[in-house]
Structure 1
């Protein structure tokens, strides 16, 4: 096989692999279904349908330390890491025999995906010495050390849908 043919074949295989792998990497979540068909067939009765989506969380870039005049250590020495994603979704449909009549009525509950934003905890520290002072020939003054904990943040708007209906 000539080297140009091998090069062309390698380029085609690389492009196909990139096209196949890209949708899997770009997915927001992984669908999950609970397989209950075997139980339904063995017991000869209608079983619930359960499914959902497990989200993939994406970490962001942390906000770096900020230098403040008069401090030896930068502010936010341990930065907070932003994380974004979605809350998991759930879809449940189950039969309710003879609750609202002679036919099988069904109860349905679902939680749609909703956006999720979070910040991990962080810390702000300062040394027990002040900045060098020119009036004391560059020597720092002693002071009390400072330690601050940056609280974690969680923002989401979850929701749910409930309903009764005939048929699955």
Structure 2
């Protein structure tokens, strides 16, 4: 293969990788914000290995609420105050700490990885009904009285958190 062909293929592969990386970056950047915890100063001042720690903070994004639903036989819509969906995540953390061996100068490590987990939530809602029925043709088109109704739509919270704890040789 000629050097000019290799250069063209390398430039093409680099362009495709950059385009795919640029397309994926805003989606992943919008979900969580990484928060590194700088412990380098402590490591240099004490002259020993210290744990490395980083965290991820989620960004809540509100969704579009379901509008009121009109039901046959009711004067007011089914959901007077609709539920507001919110998508966010649980904070994530990564910790890697050195564990000195009892005999020798070597180190093992303990690592905890708790990635940010998605959370889906719905705010509480309200549904009410008027103390009148729909127009009754047997009553000359006038509505009949009835007991008023009110209900609270319960909030919803769904998530699946997870974590990995690893202990092994080396730093």
TM-score range, shorter chain: 0.7 to 0.9
More moved, 80-89 vs 57-66:
80-89
- Name the structure 1 match of 2:64: 61
Q: For 1:95-114, what aligned pairs fall within 5 Å after superposition?
A: 95-98=98-101, 101-102=103-104, 103-114=106-117
User: Secondary structure of 2:132's match?
Assistant: coil
- Asked if 1:49 corresponds to 2:32, the answer is no
TM-superposed deviation, 1:81: 1.5
User: C-alpha separation between the residues in 2 aligned to 1:96 and 1:126?
Assistant: 64
User: C-alpha separation between the residues in 2 aligned to 1:78 and 1:61?
Assistant: 13
Paired positions, count? 147
User: C-alpha separation between the residues in 2 aligned to 1:24 and 1:149?
Assistant: 35
Render the CA deviation track for 1:52-76: whole Å, top value 9, x for unaligned.
Answer: 2111122111110000111111001
1:162 alignment partner, one of 157, 162, 165: 165
For structure 1, list consecutive stretches of 5 or more residues without a partner in the other structure. Answer: 1-18
TM-superposed deviation, 1:132: 2.6
TM-score, normalising length from structure 2? Answer: 0.74
More moved, 38-47 vs 103-112:
38-47
TM-superposed deviation, 1:23: 4.2
TM-score, normalising length from structure 1? Answer: 0.75
- Name the structure 1 match of 2:135: 132
TM-superposed deviation, 1:147: 1.3
The list of structure 1 runs, each at least 4 consecutive aligned residues, that deviate by more than 6 angstroms after superposition, is none
RMSD: 2.4
- Name the structure 2 match of 1:6: none
For structure 2, list consecutive stretches of 5 or more residues without a partner in the other structure. Answer: 1-21
